[in-house]
């Protein structure tokens, strides 16, 4: 659980960097999150949601929480990598919907992220 808290703090720092428009630092911080989770963007983009969750479950079965952090990192990376942004947002949407269907905890933030992604998709962004 300490890892989840620390990764949550890292995501908050990444969001601050986005507001400062520091793309290089954002990508470095996203990589730190991926490294901490022992995953990479290719695994997130090409893996099946249940396979990614199983990998992230670890010994504490906190795969959904780790997956949600990975999705937030993927979304932040999409803001910095405009060439692959559409694919990253599409996969993030798929993964968030997977989490939403399986997590017993209500998350307003997750719903807002899904709405934001859907809005961007409908605008062709």
Once rounded to an integer, what is the mean pLDDT over residues 76-86?
86
Q: pLDDT of 35-59, one tens digit each? A: 999 999 999 999 999 999 999 998 8
Q: pLDDT of 16-30, one tens digit each? A: 777 667 788 888 889
Query: What pLDDT, on a 0 to 100 scale, did the predictor assign at position 19?
Result: 67
d(CA 2, CA 48): 26
Domains of the chain, by residue range, sit at: 2-122
| Alpha helix segments (H runs only) across 1-125 | 2-20, 23-37, 41-46, 49-57, 63-80, 85-102, 108-122
Phi-psi region of 58 (alpha: psi -120 to 50; beta: other; left: phi over 0): left
d(CA 77, CA 21): 12
The whole-model pTM stands at 0.83
């Amino acid at each position: 659980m300490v890892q989840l808290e620390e990764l949550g703090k890292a995501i908050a720092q990444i969001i601050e960097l986005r507001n400062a428009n520091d793309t290089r630092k954002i990508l470095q911080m996203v990589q730190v999150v991926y490294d901490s989770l022992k995953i990479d963007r290719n695994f997130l983009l090409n893996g099946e949601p249940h396979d990614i969750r199983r990998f992230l479950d670890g010994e504490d079965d906190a795969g959904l929480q780790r997956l949600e952090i990975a999705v937030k990192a993927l979304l932040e990376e999409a803001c910095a990598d405009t060439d692959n942004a559409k694919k990253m947002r599409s996969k993030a949407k798929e993964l968030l919907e997977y989490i939403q269907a399986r997590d017993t905890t209500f998350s307003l933030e997750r719903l807002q992220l899904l709405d934001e992604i859907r809005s961007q998709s409908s605008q062709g962004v």
